[in-house]
Structure 1
Amino acid sequence: MTYTPDAIRHVKLSTATLPLATPISDAKVFTGRQKPMTEVVFLFAEILTEQGVCGLGFSYSKRAGGPAQYAHAREVAGSMIGEDPNDIAKLYNKLLWAGASVGRSGVATQALAALDIALYDLKAKRAGLPLAKLLGAYRDSVRTYNTSGGFLNASIDEVKERATQSLAEGIGGIKIKVGLPDSAEDLRRVAAVREHIGHDVPLMVDANQQWDRATALRMGRKLEQFDLVWIEEPLDAYDAEGHAALALALDTPIATGEMLASVAEHERLIATRACDIIQPDAPRVGGITQFLRLATLADQAGLDLAPHFAMEIHLHLAAAYPREPWVEHFDWLDPLFNERLETRDGRMVVPDRPGLGVTFSDQARAWTTDSVEFGTR
């Protein structure tokens, strides 16, 4: 069998706003740094080839930045027309340098992430494989934990009720938010959830960067009694040295990385041994091309992996990580897709559908606020 060349003939970019049923608050709201989150803005990319294969990808922004991602993608996406969609690394470089004057991280690469992810979805569909299988999977399911039920806007009774529901739905672990100005209240909430779910259920906490070094160390020591899987983002995302000191001082593993927007920023975390569990986000670091670079570095350093958000993408990437990872379960994105990911026995199952295994729903189309197209259908 010989390779049949293909070419990108059409690219469609869309931006859509997903409204959240309830305003969401983590510690950043209670410390006055952010307002409650009421929506998530998405950048969707759809790439069609001459042979009729279509790839879907997305990036996102919470609170601010969505329009900037869309604007940047609009400026560079047209240069993909006529290119071979299988040359993903070449295309990523082309797009990166087309917009390099505004940098190679943050919004500039988050805009490229949707296109990069769409190319991987397309390549896996062309091969007739789930993306995890295309990448080289180590497993057909991944340990999963729920976050969307553990935010600080919910009462402790609501958090407990949602934890019960998540476990009944086959989700394996529960993460709740901490980082309140009243640390005693944090401890009361953690104690209540631990008692409710029992000591055999994996439990994680997330401070969303709201502690200083002294508070993080003090709270970390007090939290040891709850046998947590990890303490997430106890310090500012860029305080690699502080995270490294905590990782050395505490028995509970430290997890961080979700807010970093490039491989280069994660390299500092890895070099300083700033965490036990690294939490990259493919849409935030620039897509799957960059995520795979980062995952190789993390594995070489002996780090565990728990990617942030976007389980529709990260399930496949986690399944292809050499060490047993975790994937984060959020139900917020369910209305965007026609398919649902299966959870059972504490794990999320890699779908047998080609590519990412998801298609955009009519609701996602209805929430679209703008779109632009390049090439011809």
Structure 2
Amino acid sequence: MNVNTKRTTHHADDHADDDAAGHAADLPDGDAATHPDTIRSVTLSSVRLPLGTPVSDAKVFTGRQQPMTEVALLFAELTTAQGHEGIGFGYSKRAGGPGQFAHAREVAPDLIGEDPNDIDRLWTKLVWAGASVGRSGLATQALAAFDVALWDLKARRAGLPLAKLLGAHRDSVRVYDTSGGFLHAPVEELVENASASLADGVGGIKIKVGHPDHREDLRRLTAVRERLGDDVPLMADANQQWDRPTALRMGRALEEFALVWLEEPLDAHDAQGHASLAAALDTPVATGEMLSSVAEHWELIRNDAADVIQPDAPRIGGITQFLKLAALAEHRHLQLAPHFAMEIHLHLAAAYPYEPWLEHFDWLEPLFEERLEISGGRMRLPARPGLGISLSEKARQWTVERCEFGDVP
């Protein structure tokens, strides 16, 4: 696969900042600790991760989407004048990857010469750099890779795992598996996948529902529950494909399975519908993964539309925005179960006051040199500083576009 490399230098009026940064790198250690550090370079990579098997959920069965065959990722690698480094990423499924890369490429030069400590200010600066395309959706998802990289850099500089920098409440997080429970898998495979995940140390299983034949959903859930027994935590996910009457009927039919939660029974933006459903069912209602701003999540929270909130840090703009949302969720005593990107969300879940759940997907593992440890139904925090990840050779091979800004080492 061809890799296009482009080197972009900063604007002339940034030279003074870069000169100061260069001098900071030469300072003795004691002086460097008090001298403001600056961002020296930014490298962006667009990566296409192929999936071994095309993946289908309810959105495919309703004809709204095609099976998923790859995940597009945007990586940002930062270096500073004092030699600190950080790496972050965002992603898109099915569409949007090239758009995220293009937007990130436009605003990346605005980071050169900036103090990497000022993460919230830099997020705001980048938002305003692209304000004409809004403050949610692709516009802010493109910023997530920068924001995550800045937090990774800060934690690495402190010599701490990110969760410890934020203030961890626990050293491990309950983990459930999703990657083996999609609708394209026959029921026999579904059951075997669930059993294998439990054998590997995962603590819960999520099954996709929303099949056009509702009896098929019940058959699949029955098969999994019978194989796993009543004590294994089980979740179901309709991926927004039911209308309000169907969600109520199916929600009542699923009560017998004692689900940990029923996920995305309605359109993600139907806060009132979710609120009515949550009030009518004994099963907790979970949603939020498809929302792309704190403001959108606040609509769920203030309407009591979710028992379990499922934010996705890359989708809402990064860790800075996630922390603001987590504070709102904590205030309302909500359960937390971040969506996807476990390499990031492990740290954020560990820092949430109430016992959360973490979603296990093995899809992204080939991109990184490291592996996260799972045992006894929980995922363990790595002792490595920052996020504790580094890009693999596979990630480099799957890079389809790359650009550099500033003085790249």
Structure 1-normalised TM-score?
0.99
Match of 2:356 among 305, 309, 325: 325
In structure 2, the partner of 1:352 is 383
Q: Secondary structure at the match of 1:359?
A: coil
Q: After superposition, give the CA deviation of every residue in 1:53-87 in whole Å (9 maximum; x if it has no partner).
A: 11000000000000000000000011100111111
Residues in 2 aligned to 1:167 and 1:51: alpha-carbon distance in whole angstroms: 45
The offset of 1:135, in angstroms, is 0.4
Q: Secondary structure at the match of 2:104?
A: helix
Match of 1:102 among 101, 119, 133: 133
In structure 2, the partner of 1:364 is 395
Letter in 2 for 1:331: D
In structure 1, the partner of 2:4 is none
In structure 2, the partner of 1:51 is 82
Q: After superposition, give the CA deviation of every residue in 1:173-212 in whole Å (9 maximum; x if it has no partner).
A: 0001000110010010011101111100000000000000
In structure 2, the partner of 1:374 is 405
2:269 pairs with 1:238: yes
Residues in 2 aligned to 1:243 and 1:43: alpha-carbon distance in whole angstroms: 32
Letter in 2 for 1:132: A
Residues in 2 aligned to 1:214 and 1:299: alpha-carbon distance in whole angstroms: 31
In structure 2, the partner of 1:68 is 99
Letter in 1 for 2:54: P
In structure 2, the partner of 1:338 is 369
Match of 2:200 among 169, 194, 198: 169
Residues in 2 aligned to 1:150 and 1:117: alpha-carbon distance in whole angstroms: 29
The offset of 1:3, in angstroms, is 3.0
The offset of 1:52, in angstroms, is 1.1
Letter in 2 for 1:142: V
The offset of 1:51, in angstroms, is 1.2
Residues in 2 aligned to 1:179 and 1:334: alpha-carbon distance in whole angstroms: 28
The offset of 1:302, in angstroms, is 1.1
Structure 2 residue runs without a partner (length 5+): 1-29
Match of 2:157 among 122, 126, 135: 126
In structure 1, the partner of 2:55 is 24
Q: Secondary structure at the match of 1:15?
A: strand
2:306 pairs with 1:306: no
How do residues 107-256 of structure 1 correspond to structure 2 at under 5 angstroms? 107-256=138-287
Residues in 1 aligned to 2:280 and 2:82: alpha-carbon distance in whole angstroms: 56
Structure showing greater Rg: 2
Q: After superposition, give the CA deviation of every residue in 1:283-305 in whole Å (9 maximum; x if it has no partner).
A: 00000000000000000011100
Q: Secondary structure at the match of 1:352?
A: coil
Q: How many residue pairs were aligned?
A: 377
Q: Secondary structure at the match of 1:251?
A: coil
Residues in 2 aligned to 1:223 and 1:96: alpha-carbon distance in whole angstroms: 42
Q: Secondary structure at the match of 1:373?
A: strand
Q: Secondary structure at the match of 1:238?
A: coil
Q: After superposition, give the CA deviation of every residue in 1:259-312 in whole Å (9 maximum; x if it has no partner).
A: 000000000000000000000000000000000000000000111000000000
Residues in 2 aligned to 1:238 and 1:368: alpha-carbon distance in whole angstroms: 34
Match of 2:115 among 67, 84, 87: 84
Structure 2-normalised TM-score?
0.92
Q: Secondary structure at the match of 1:91?
A: helix
Q: After superposition, give the CA deviation of every residue in 1:118-143 in whole Å (9 maximum; x if it has no partner).
A: 00000000000000000000000000
Q: After superposition, give the CA deviation of every residue in 1:26-60 in whole Å (9 maximum; x if it has no partner).
A: 00001111000000000000000111111000000
Residues in 2 aligned to 1:45 and 1:195: alpha-carbon distance in whole angstroms: 45
Residues in 2 aligned to 1:91 and 1:28: alpha-carbon distance in whole angstroms: 36
2:312 pairs with 1:281: yes
Letter in 1 for 2:152: D
Letter in 2 for 1:40: V
Identity %: 71
In structure 2, the partner of 1:40 is 71
Residues in 2 aligned to 1:131 and 1:318: alpha-carbon distance in whole angstroms: 11
Residues in 1 aligned to 2:161 and 2:187: alpha-carbon distance in whole angstroms: 39
Q: After superposition, give the CA deviation of every residue in 1:201-260 in whole Å (9 maximum; x if it has no partner).
A: 000000000000001000000100000000000000000000000100000000000000
Letter in 1 for 2:233: P
Residues in 1 aligned to 2:37 and 2:200: alpha-carbon distance in whole angstroms: 42
How do residues 254-293 of structure 1 correspond to structure 2 at under 5 angstroms? 254-293=285-324
Letter in 1 for 2:288: G
Q: After superposition, give the CA deviation of every residue in 1:303-351 in whole Å (9 maximum; x if it has no partner).
A: 1000000000000000000100000000000100000100010000010
